[in-house]
């Protein structure tokens, strides 16, 4: 009888490693870079505010308020546009959703966040258009 060259545990580990690699390449390199930068910005803000890094997902209204406050911070303190903030919020959602990164919490968009982004858009001057 031939001895298998790999044990069940080896195969399981290899498959998990391949799955993680596939998952990590799901995002384009530029998107990953943007998400990592936005996540560092989030982590810095949470630390400055004396708050835990991850939202719990147990109170969606509280999570939405935390994201709203972060959006206001990005706009007021750093002059970020609504589009830039939307990208940062996507990064935060991604890092919360992926179990390897965070608690596996799905931070769905909430009306108070879309209202804040809409308000930022209204307060931001539209770019001047060039004459044809």
CATH classification of the domain holding 101: 1.10.150.130
Total domains, the chain: 1
Q: Which 8-state DSSP code applies to residue 49? A: T
Domain residues for the domain of 70 are 28-123
Report yes or no on 3 lying in a domain: no
- Per the CB < 8 A criterion, the answer to whether 54 and 64 are in contact is no
- Cβ neighbours for 62, distance < 8 A, ≥ 6 positions apart: 55, 56
Q: How far apart are CA 29 and CA 7, in angstroms?
A: 34
> 11-27: per-residue pLDDT in tens?
888 888 888 788 778 88
What is the average pLDDT score of the chain?
85
* pTM for the predicted model, two decimal places: 0.75
Report yes or no on 129 lying in a domain: no
- Per the CB < 8 A criterion, the answer to whether 92 and 42 are in contact is yes
Report yes or no on 131 lying in a domain: no
> 27-65: per-residue pLDDT in tens?
888 998 999 999 999 999 999 999 999 998 888 889 999
């Amino acid at each position: 009888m031939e001895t298998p060259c790999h044990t069940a545990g080896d195969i399981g580990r290899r498959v998990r490693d391949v799955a993680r690699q596939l998952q990590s390449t799901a995002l384009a390199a530029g998107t990953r870079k943007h998400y990592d930068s936005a996540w560092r910005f989030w982590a810095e803000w949470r630390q400055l505010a004396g708050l835990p890094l991850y939202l719990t997902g147990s109170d969606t209204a509280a999570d939405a308020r935390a994201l709203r406050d972060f959006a206001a911070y990005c706009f007021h303190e750093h002059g970020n546009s609504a589009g830039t903030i939307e990208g940062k919020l996507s990064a935060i959602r991604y890092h919360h959703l992926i179990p390897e990164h965070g608690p596996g919490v799905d931070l769905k968009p909430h009306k108070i966040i879309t209202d804040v982004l809409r308000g930022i858009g209204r307060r931001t001057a539209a770019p001047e258009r060039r004459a044809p």
